Amino acid sequence: MHPYSIDLMGLLLALAGVLVGVGLSSLFFRAGLAAVRAERQATVHGLQERLEEGRSALALKEAELQKLARTASGLESDLIELRTVHTEKLASIRQMKDDFEQSRLQLKHEFQNLANQILEEKGKTFAQNSQSSLDAMLRPFREQIEQFQKRVNQVHDESLRGHVSLGAEIKRMLEVGMKMSTEANTLASALKGDKKTAGNWGEMQLERTLELAGLFKDDHYQAQPRFKDGQGNDRQPDFVVKLPDRKHVVIDSKVSLVDYDRSVAADTELGRQAALDAHVKAVRNHIDDLAKKDYSNLTGMHSPSFVLMFMPIEPAYMAALSHNKELYNYGYQRNVILVSHTTLMPILKTVANLWMVARGNEQAHELSARAGELYNQVVVVAERLKRLGGTLDTVSRHYNETVTAVAGQQGLYGKSSRFNELSSKANKTMPALEPLHADFENERLELIVGDGAAARDGTDSVQ
């Protein structure tokens, strides 16, 4: 074989080997590149999944943040409302305090003047003839005046203490409301399954609110009293609050917890909204039920045309009104007013203050009537003393005329003195007779009697 052909074959073989090596290298490179691409795609897919999870978590956090923002906004509105009510109450308290202090000072001044006038002007007249009996007669009057003054001071002190402590009472009321809300949440699991237990618990919370407001059972409110409707059926509201002048306010407790609890435990916003819709519907059903019972028209009930529906769970009350802005008006149009512990307490405190004022007015009226009766008795005694003074004046005049007839210049003494000189048996000495100069101050008694008659006439005309 030719040597050049051998070299050519070698070159061809070498070239073939190079091409085969390049092909194999290309295959190996492509396989490695595919593995790298697969690894990168897996990494990118994992990163995309983490990104989606982060976005979902961010959406949940944003929903929670919006929920917290709504809650904070509601609490801020409630705080502003409570501050406004507190400011108005303080202004009213200051005005009532000033008016009461002015009335107290005026009463004190008038009664002191009356006592001084009676004791100084009329006491001097009576002292000359019957000092001991006059003191005994005026002692009850002075005691009545002192008791009246003491009672006025006591009523003022009680009112002042009540007004001063109102700010602290409002704060305590808020604390109690929050405590009751906490207790309500704690009892939620026990109350959700038993409507009877939930109803009894709501009535207990309502009665506790009545007691915290300073109202007493049977005196200021009745628990589950029985009434008759127009068809003769028994009706039994939870509580009837008594008002002065024999008026009533009906309060019925309604517990709505199941749907509200579902809204709190909901994992999604859609589920929470659906639960809140059901919660509002349950509250509306309670409103319709109360409206149908028509408690204000029961036989023996003297109530306004509305009834208070008490919701003992404060967050459930706020959630219902916040979710449906027209819910309160829905109840109002059906004469049902929605209240919670926080909104009911100022109403009950006002009722307690009305009872305190009515009791003070009744006691003041009784003391005033007794003082008037005692004054009329003083006038009666003055009338009798006037008649006695007239009798004494007549007796004194007759006595002086008799003394003149006996001891005067032309009297019996001058005519009979000669008998003393002529008779040995005339051994007694004629006593000296002096006329009486009596001053019974009848004019001042006439003033007393005249004032007393005018006072009685005025009292009769008023009655």
Task: Determine the Cα angle at 345 with ends 344 and 351, to 5°.
Answer: 95
Q: How confident is the model at residue 184 (pLDDT cuts 50, 70, 90)?
A: low
List the structure tokens of 325: 């802005």
The pLDDT assigned to 155 comes to 62
- CA gap 135, 16 in Å, rounded: 153
The pLDDT assigned to 405 comes to 67
Q: What is the DSSP string of 58-73?
A: HHHHHHHHHHHHHHHH
- CA gap 303, 192 in Å, rounded: 33
Distances in Å between the alpha carbon of 31 and those of 22, 26, 36, 39, 331? 14, 9, 9, 12, 76
**Are the CB atoms for 322 and 283 separated by under 8 Å?**
no
User: What would the pLDDT profile of 279-299 be if each residue is shown by its tens digit?
Assistant: 999 999 999 988 888 887 776
**Are the CB atoms for 337 and 286 separated by under 8 Å?**
no
Q: What is the DSSP string of 236-259?
A: --SEEEEETTTEEEEEEE----HH
List the structure tokens of 463: 């009655």
Residue 92 phi/psi, 5° resolution? -65, -40
Q: Which residues contact 417 (CB under 8 A, 6 or more apart)?
A: 430
- CA gap 204, 206 in Å, rounded: 5
Q: Annotate 186-225 with b (16+ C-beta within 10 A) or e (fewer).
A: ebbeebbeeeeebeebbbebbbebbebbbbeeeebbbeeb
- CA gap 381, 122 in Å, rounded: 11
Q: Which residues contact 144 (CB under 8 A, 6 or more apart)?
A: 367, 370, 371, 374
Q: Which residue has the higher pLDDT, 14 or 407?
A: 14
User: What would the pLDDT profile of 197-223 be if each residue is shown by its tens digit?
Assistant: 778 888 889 899 999 988 898 888 988
Is 330 a residue whose pLDDT tops 90? yes
Helices 341-407 and 412-422 pack at an angle, to 10 degrees, of 50
User: What would the pLDDT profile of 120-152 be if each residue is shown by its tens digit?
Assistant: 555 555 455 555 655 665 566 566 666 666 766
Is pTM beyond 0.85? Reply is: no
User: What would the pLDDT profile of 358-411 be if each residue is shown by its tens digit?
Assistant: 888 878 777 777 777 777 777 777 777 777 777 777 777 777 777 676 666 565
- Amino acid at site 175: E
Q: Which residue has the higher pLDDT, 277 or 409?
A: 277
Residue given tokens 């009892």 in the structure block: 187
99-124 mean pLDDT: 56
List the structure tokens of 97: 């305090």
